[in-house]
């Protein structure tokens, strides 16, 4: 399940990046028409990219927190399921989840 959560995160982020690239013309030659034109990327897609970047930042601090977020957010696992997968107590997972959420709120806010 931990591996599936990591793969799900990767699939979601790759999908969003691919859609954004296609919206910008994919492999076509890019010509800038005007400075400061509004970004056409969907705000939800930008949020996925921002979350991924914040998780990469968090990985440099504590990799386990990232695993907990991936399993909870991307795989929809409960605290009990995460605890079993990571061989931790449910309380440790709850603390890790809270720390990760605080870090992400600060990074994304």
CATH number, domain with residue 18 = 1.10.10
pLDDT tens digits, residue range 7-64? 888 888 888 888 877 766 655 555 555 555 445 567 888 888 898 999 999 999 999 9
Sign of CA dihedral 79, 80, 86, 91: positive
Query: Does some domain include residue 34?
Result: no
Amino acid 74: pLDDT = 87
In whole angstroms, give the CA distance from residue 63 to residue 34.
Answer: 42
Query: Does some domain include residue 35?
Result: no
Amino acid 28: pLDDT = 55
Residue 82 predicted with pLDDT over 80: yes
In whole angstroms, give the CA distance from residue 37 to residue 98.
Answer: 38
* pTM of model > 0.85: no
Amino acid 37: pLDDT = 45
Domain range for 15 is 2-24+40-108
Amino acid 80: pLDDT = 97
């Amino acid at each position: 399940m931990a591996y599936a959560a990591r793969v799900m995160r990767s699939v979601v982020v790759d999908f969003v990046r691919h859609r954004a690239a296609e919206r910008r013309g994919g492999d076509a030659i890019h010509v800038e028409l005007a400075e400061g034109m509004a970004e056409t990327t969907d705000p939800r897609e930008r949020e996925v990219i921002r979350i991924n970047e914040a998780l990469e930042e968090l990985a440099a601090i504590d990799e386990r927190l990232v695993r907990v977020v991936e399993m909870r957010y991307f795989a929809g696992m409960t605290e009990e399921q995460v605890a079993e997968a990571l061989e931790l107590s449910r309380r440790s997972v709850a603390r890790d989840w809270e720390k990760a959420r605080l870090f992400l709120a600060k990074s994304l806010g």
